[in-house]
Amino acid sequence: MKDRYEELKKKLAEIHDVHMARSILSWDQHTKMPPKAGEVRAEQLGTLDRIAHELFIDDDIGALLEELRPYEESHDYDSDEASLLRVTRREYAKATRVPSDLRAELTRAGAIALAAWVEARQKSDFAIFLPYLRRNVELQREYVACFPKAENDYDVLLDDFDEGMKTTEVRAVFDELKTELIPLIAEITERADTVDNACLTGHFPIDKQRAFALEVLEQLGYDHESWRLDPTIHPFAMSAATTDIRLTTRYEEGDMNSLMAAIHEFGHGFYEAGIDPRLERTPLSQVTSMSLHESQSRMWENLVGRSLPFWKHFYPKLQAAYPGQFDDVELDEFYRAINKVEPSLIRIEADEATYNLHIILRFELEQEILDGSLDLADLPEAWNARMTEYMGVDVPDDAHGVLQDVHWSGGAIGYFPTYSLGNVISVQLWDQVREAIPDLDQQFERGEFGELSSWLRENLHRNGRKFTSKETLERLVGGGIDSGPYLRYLKDKLGGIYGIRAETGAAV
C-alpha cells in the first residue's frame, strides 16, 4: 500500500512540476517577456496546462485514489498522507469533468487576452479588450457547464478560489459590509479635511523606492537566497517552490504606493514560503484558498503595514530615505495620511474601507456578466454608474475604470470576492494573534516581527493546502467567516482617526 502511495506521489510530483513551470512562464510573461512573444507564450501556457490536466485525469490516478482509500482511513485526518489523498480526490473529481481541450483553451485565451488588455489599458480603450473578454466569459460559461447545476452558476467559479464557498454566503458578508461601510465612508468624506495626505505625493526616485521596500521586506522575512522582487504593471506574487518566492510591485515616481503593494505581496509570498518543506512537490504545497491567501497579504499590508507601532519603527528610516519629503511631517500625521479614507478610482491604491466597495462592485458585476443580464458592451457604463453610486466618484476613462485590473484578462472570474473575504478573515485571525502575543505592538515598535511570523507559520502556513478555509477557520477561531471583528476594527481605527464614535457613527 505504501508503494502504491509513493507511486501516486511520484505522479503528482511531476504534475506539480508542470504547474510550477507554468507559474514561472506566467511570472516571466508579466515581468520579463518581450512583448511580441505574447502569442507564442499563450500556446506554451496552454500546452502546459493541457499536459498537467491530461496527466492528472489519467485513469491510473483515479484507480490509485480508489485503491488507497483504506490507506487514507488508516492515517490521521491531519497526516500528510490522509490530507494528500483527501485533497487529491476532491481535485480529481473536479478535474475529470473538464475536457483537456477546454482546459488548454481557457489558458490560451487568457494569455492572448492579457496582451489585448495591456494594449487596451495603455490606450484606455475598452473596445480593444471587448472581443477577448467575450471569449473569456464564453469559456467560463462552458467551464461552469461541466459541473452539476449549482444554486448559482457563480458558485462553480468561486469554488476554484475558495473551496465550498457559496455565492449566498459571500453576498451575506458583503451586504453587512455595504450596510456599515457606505454610511461610514460618506461620513468620513464629509470630514475629509481631518486628514491631510499631501506628504504622500512628491518625488520618490524609483531606485530608492526599491531599496526602501527591500529594507522593510528583509526585516519582515524576505530573504535574497529564496526571494525576488521585480517591477510589473499589476503587482502579484508567485512561487515555484518554498525556496522560490517572487514578489512584484509597481513603481511611480510621484508616490510611494509601491511599498504597500510590496508588503501586500510579501504577505502572499510569506504564506507560500512557510509551507512545510516536507510537502514540496505535492498538491499540498499550495495555499488553502485565495481568501486565506488574501487574509495574509491584507494582514501584512494593513494590520501590520498601516499600523502605528510598525511606523514607530520604520518612520525615521523612511524620513532618511527621502530627504526633505517628510521633514515637517510628524509620525502621527504620517500615520493618519497612510490611513486616509478617500473614495477613489483604483482598487489597488484604495484605503482599507473603500477597498471593499471596489470588490463588492466587481462581485456584483461578475454575477451579471456570468448570467448574461449585463451585456459586456455595456460593462464600462455599468462600472462607472456603480462607482458613482457607491463612492460618489466619476470615472474619467476606461483605464481608471473597467480596465484597471488584470484578472478578467486571464479569465479569472470569482477571484475578486476573496480580497474582501480576506480582509474579513484577516481580523478574525488577528484577534487570535493579539491574544497569543500580548505585547505585539511593542515588538513592532522594536522592529521585531519574528513572533508574529512564527505564530502564522505554526498555525496556518505550514499546513499548506491540508485543510479548507472553513476547516482552517473552525480550527483557529472556532467558527465561520464573520464580518463582526473586521467592522469593529475598521470603525475603531477610523473612528479614532476621524473623531467618529464607534457605536453610532455620530461625531464625538
- Contact residues toward its own copies (CB under 8 A) are 13-14, 17-18, 20-22, 24-25, 28, 32-37, 39-41, 43-44, 46-48, 50-51, 55, 224-228, 240-241, 243-245, 280-281
244-249, strands of its sheet edge to edge: 227-231, 244-249, 237-241
- DSSP symbols for 31-62: HT--GGGHHHHHHHHHHHHHHHHHHHS-HHHH
Q: By C-beta, is 38 or 309 nearer to its own copies?
A: 38
Q: What residues does 237 pair with on adjacent strands? A: 247
Asked if 260 and 352 count as a contact pair (C-beta separation under 8 A), the reply is no
- Closer CB to its own copies, 36 or 503, in the complex: 36
CB of 48 to its own copies, least distance (A): 6
Minimum distance of its own copies from residue 188's CB (angstroms):
42
Distance CA 275, CA 197 (A): 38
Cell 530615505 found at: 321
* CB 158, min distance to its own copies, A: 30
Contacting residues for 40 by C-beta, under 8 A, at least 6 apart = none
* Beta carbon nearer to its own copies, 44 or 96: 44
**Assigned C-alpha cell, 130:** 471587448
Catalytic entry in 163, 265, 294, 366? 265
Of 246 and 264, CB closest to its own copies: 246
Closest CB to its own copies among 34 and 70?
34
Q: How is residue 467 written as a grid cell?
A: 485543510
Task: Indicate the residue among 240 and 370 with the shorter CB distance to its own copies.
Answer: 240
CA gap 290, 270 in Å, rounded: 14
The set of residues, in sequence order, having a beta carbon less than 8 Å from that of 439 and lying 6+ positions away, is none
| Long-range contacts (CB closer than 8 Å, 24 or more residues apart) made by 83-87 | 83/284, 83/465, 83/466, 83/467, 84/9, 84/12, 84/282, 84/283, 84/284, 85/5, 85/8, 87/283, 87/284, 87/465, 87/466
Measured from the CB atom, the residue of 28 and 441 that comes closer to its own copies is 28
Cell numbers at 503, concatenated: 457605536
Inter-residue contact 428 to 477 (CB < 8 Å): yes
* Contact between 402 and 379 (Cβ < 8 Å): yes
Output the DSSP codes for 428-494.
HHHHHHHHH-TTHHHHHHTT--HHHHHHHHHHTGGGTTSS-HHHHHHHHHSS---SHHHHHHHHHHH
CB of 45 to its own copies, least distance (A): 8
CB of 27 to its own copies, least distance (A): 8
Is 265 annotated as catalytic? yes
Q: How far is the CB of 420 from its own copies (least distance, A)?
A: 32
What's the half-sphere exposure (Cβ side, CA atoms, 13 Å) at 436? 15
Q: Which residues are catalytic?
A: 265
